[in-house]
């Protein structure tokens, strides 16, 4: 007649208050934790408080000023100069006349052959700085998000480890009775203690990693922003680590990646800047006005005009007119343009190299993702098999005193597999973070156009 499961456990633990098989149930259903803080606030505060994001704002403002200067090239430049002269009949003998002169001149550029290139160069420089800003925002967002996901994964592991620890403690209490009764060797009991210590050390190591993840978030800004009220759902994490083929599409990445867009716009700016280096022809509106005044301004001639007082353009040098300038030969300007051309070619090659490196990296990440998925499937299969082994051990018909130790070892192995699974999951989170950063998968409200 077959023995009942309860009787089998009694055979293992004859002097204890006996546990039922259900006490050793290892089917764990991960439950979502409840969080009361809005993750969006953490993202916003981290981005706004980031040093590198804040510094990039000023780089954009700098380019905006240069862009305005290029677009409003026709605003005249006005120069006013004045001087006071004490007239002298001979050295050391001043005359009664003290003359004050005022000269006003202005130039307004109406057109030049480099105006369009200067405007385009300024425009693309501004776009490049905006893309750099978005890339820095993307980096901050990715760091915060990556560590939030890792914290959540670690929390799930820690909750599962509590479940395993409870089963191991239950076995340990039974093993104490068996050891004292001589059914279980004391050396096995010592081994169980060592195994439990290693278990606790593994849990402490994961808890230490959680603190490190929090620190990586807090290091982004002068203030410690992370709070335990922030978190993500298990369903979100499962969806996040699903990497579709379109994320590894090179053309898609080139069209979306902020760093690539910044380099591309910077290259366009260099191209137009090269064309604007050597100005050959320009048309300007120019004007100049002279005014003089001295102490004897009250003296008038018969026509009631001040003879030695206020005069406007006494020498007839004031004018307004259009000036056209053509520079036929400018060797220095020509060589400067050639120099800028070589720099542009150099940067074009560097841009092509960056695209090539990105393409290779995308292919590598895609291959790595497949291997990580295979490893994850393998370790999950091992977890299922080990769980089934433990179930079978509890239901075996021939149970002896060694069964408790075998079950204990298998539960310990189960934790080792869970640690391995968490390690693989963290690798997958890192890869997912990188590929999503490549694709600029960030909410639109965090970036600028």
Per-residue confidence band for 232, with pLDDT thresholds at 50, 70 and 90: very high
Cα–Cα distances (Å) from 324 to 81, 109, 111, 277, 332, in that order, read: 25, 10, 9, 19, 21
Same domain, 177 and 306: no
Average pLDDT over residues 99-103: 79
If asked whether residues 163 and 97 sit together in one domain, one would say no
Highest mean pLDDT among 369-378, 399-408, 412-421: 369-378
Which is higher by pLDDT, 267 or 12?
A: 267
182 CB-contact burial (10 Å; exposed 0-12 / middle 13-18 / buried 19+) = exposed
Mapped onto helix, strand or coil, the DSSP state of residue 289 is strand
* Inside any domain, residue 379: yes
Model confidence at 365, in pLDDT bands (50, 70, 90)? very high
Among candidate residues 326, 352, 384, the one where a domain is terminated: 326
Give the pLDDT of residue 10: 43
Percent helix, percent strand, percent coil in the chain, to nearest 5: 65, 15, 20
pLDDT on residue 179? 59
- pLDDT tens per residue, range 58-68: 999 999 999 99
- pLDDT of 192 reads 82
Whether residue 339 is found in the same domain as residue 394: yes
Please, what is the average pLDDT of the chain?
85
State the greatest distance between any 2 C-alpha atoms of the chain, in Å, as a whole number. Answer: 148
Looking at the structure of the chain, the number of domains it has is 2
Q: How confident is the model at residue 412 (pLDDT cuts 50, 70, 90)?
A: confident
Residue 320: phi, psi to the nearest 5? -140, 135
Of 132-141, 176-185, 430-439, the poorest mean pLDDT is in: 176-185
Is residue 185 over pLDDT 80? no
**Distance from C-alpha of 143 to C-alpha of 155, rounded to nearest angstrom:** 18
More confident residue, 280 or 298: 280
127 and 220 belong to one structural domain: yes
Is the confidence at residue 17, as pLDDT, over 50?
A: no
CA separation (Å) from 43 to 138, 214, 225, 289, 431? 10, 14, 10, 59, 20
Q: Measured at the alpha carbon of residue 157, what is the angle toward residues 152 and 159, in degrees to the nearest 5?
A: 95
Q: Which of 303, 326, 349 is the last residue of a domain?
A: 326
- Nearest-5° angle of CA 269, CA 261, CA 129? 60
- Last residue in a domain, options 326, 359, 390: 326
CATH number of the domain bearing residue 337: 1.20.1600.10
Q: pLDDT at residue 136 above 70?
A: yes
Does 159 lie in the same domain as 104? no
Lookup result for tokens 């597999």: 417
Do 260 and 369 fall within a single domain? yes
Please tell me whether residues 254 and 349 are part of one structural domain: yes
pLDDT(398) > 60: no
- In this prediction, residue 395 has a pLDDT band, given cuts at 50, 70 and 90, of confident
Q: What is the structure's pLDDT at 310?
A: 56
pLDDT value at 201 more than 80: yes
Residue 302 pLDDT: 61
Q: Look at residue 12 and tell me if it is in a domain.
A: no
Q: How many CB atoms lie within 10 A of CB 350?
A: 12
Is residue 7 in some structural domain? Answer: no
Q: Please state, in angstroms and rounded to a whole number, the distance separating the CA atoms of residues 152 and 191.
A: 32
Strand 319-326 vs strand 77-90: parallel, antiparallel, or unpaired? unpaired
3-class DSSP assignment, residue 232:
coil
- 265 and 156 share a domain? yes
Which stretches of 28-132 are assigned E, i.e. beta strand?
77-90, 93-112
Higher model confidence: residue 298 or residue 390?
Answer: 390
Asked whether residue 156 is domain-assigned, the answer is yes
Tell me what pLDDT residue 99 has. Answer: 73
- Which tokens sit at 334? 């020509």
State yes or no: pLDDT of 303 exceeds 70: no
- Domain match, 371 and 438 both: yes
User: How far is CA 434 from each of CA 122, 130, 143, rounded to the nearest angstrom?
Assistant: 31, 21, 10
Instruction: Give strand pairing partners of 323.
Output: 284
User: What is the predicted pLDDT for the residue at 196?
Assistant: 87
How sure is the predictor about 307, in pLDDT bands with cuts at 50, 70 and 90? Answer: low
Distance between CA atoms of residues 161 and 440, nearest Å? 36
Is 20 part of any domain? no
Q: 31 pLDDT exceeds 80?
A: no
Which domain covers residue 228, as residue numbers? 26-72+114-280+331-446
Is residue 106 one of the residues assigned to a domain? Answer: yes
425 in the same domain as 399: yes
* Lowest pLDDT segment from 171-185, 266-280, 369-383: 171-185
Q: Looking at the domain assignment, is residue 311 inside a domain?
A: yes
Instruction: State residue 140's pLDDT score.
Output: 97
Average pLDDT over residues 389-396: 79
More confident residue, 373 or 101: 373
Give the distance, in angstroms, between the CA of residue 103 and the centroid of all CA atoms in the same chain: 54
Residues belonging to the chain: 449
Shared-domain flag, residues 274 and 361: yes
Indicate if the pLDDT at residue 93 is higher than 80. Answer: no
Greater confidence, 14 or 351?
351
Which carries the bigger pLDDT value, residue 272 or residue 327? 272
The model's pTM is 0.83
**What was the pLDDT predicted at 182?**
57
Check whether 175 has a pLDDT greater than 90.
no
Q: Does the residue 4 lie in any domain?
A: no
Higher local confidence (pLDDT), 173 or 362: 362
Q: What is the mean pLDDT of residues 271-291?
A: 89
The rounded distance, in Å, linking the Cα atoms of 270 and 346 is: 11
Other residues' Cβ atoms within 10 Å of the Cβ of residue 199 = 19
Q: Which of 158, 276, 135, 271 has its CA nearest to residue 211?
A: 158
Q: Is the pLDDT of residue 7 over 50?
A: no
Domain co-membership, 125 together with 267? yes
Q: What pLDDT is recorded for position 4?
A: 41
pLDDT at 171: 79
pLDDT digits (tens, 9 = 90+) for 32-84: 788 899 999 999 999 999 999 999 999 999 999 999 999 999 999 999 998 87
Mean pLDDT, residues 365-386 taken together? 95
Look at residue 189 and tell me whether its pLDDT is greater than 80. Answer: no
Q: DSSP assignment of 166-178, as one string?
A: HHHHHHHHHHHHH
Please tell me the distance from the alpha carbon of residue 212 to that of residue 228, in angstroms, as a whole number. Answer: 14
């Amino acid at each position: 007649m077959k023995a009942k499961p309860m009787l089998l456990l009694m055979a293992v633990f004859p002097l204890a208050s006996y546990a039922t098989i259900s006490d050793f149930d290892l089917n764990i259903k991960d439950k979502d934790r409840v969080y009361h803080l809005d993750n969006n606030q953490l993202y916003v505060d981290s981005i706004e408080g980031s040093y590198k994001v804040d510094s990039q704002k000023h780089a954009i403002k700098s380019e905006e000023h240069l862009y305005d200067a290029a677009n409003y090239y026709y605003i005249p430049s006005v120069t006013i100069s004045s001087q006071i002269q004490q007239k002298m009949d001979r050295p050391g003998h001043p005359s009664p006349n003290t003359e004050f002169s005022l000269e006003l001149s202005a130039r307004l550029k109406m057109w030049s052959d480099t105006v369009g290139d200067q405007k385009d160069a300024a425009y693309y420089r501004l776009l490049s700085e905006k893309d750099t800003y978005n890339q820095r925002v993307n980096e901050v967002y990715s760091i915060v998000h990556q560590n939030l996901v890792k914290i959540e994964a670690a929390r799930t592991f820690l909750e599962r480890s509590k479940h395993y620890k409870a089963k191991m403690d239950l076995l340990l209490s039974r093993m104490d009775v068996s050891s004292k009764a001589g059914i279980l060797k004391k050396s096995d009991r010592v081994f169980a203690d060592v195994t439990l210590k290693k278990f606790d050390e593994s849990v402490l190591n994961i808890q230490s990693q959680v603190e490190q993840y929090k620190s990586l978030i807090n290091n982004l800004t002068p203030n410690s922003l992370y709070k335990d009220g922030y978190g993500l759902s298990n369903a979100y994490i499962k969806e996040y680590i699903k990497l579709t083929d379109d994320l590894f599409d090179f053309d898609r990445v080139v069209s979306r990646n902020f760093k690539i867009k910044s380099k591309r716009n910077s290259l366009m700016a260099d191209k137009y800047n090269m064309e604007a280096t050597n100005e050959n022809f320009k048309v300007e509106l120019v004007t100049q006005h002279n005014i003089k005044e001295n102490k004897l301004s009250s003296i008038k001639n018969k026509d009631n005009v001040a003879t030695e007082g206020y005069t406007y353009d006494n020498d007839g040098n004031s004018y307004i007119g259009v000036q056209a300038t053509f520079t036929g030969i400018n060797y220095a300007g020509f060589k400067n343009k050639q120099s800028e051309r070589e720099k542009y070619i150099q940067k074009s090659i560097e841009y092509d190299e960056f695209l090539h490196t990105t393409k290779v990296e995308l292919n590598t990440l895609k291959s790595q993702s497949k291997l990580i998925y295979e490893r994850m499937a393998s370790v999950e299969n091992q977890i299922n098999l080990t769980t089934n082994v433990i179930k079978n051990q509890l239901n075996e018909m021939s149970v002896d005193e060694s069964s408790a130790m075998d079950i204990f070892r298998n539960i310990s192995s189960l934790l080792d597999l869970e640690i391995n699974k968490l390690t693989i999951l963290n690798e997958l989170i890192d890869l997912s973070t990188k590929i999503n950063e490549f694709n600029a998968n960030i909410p639109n409200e965090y970036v600028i156009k």
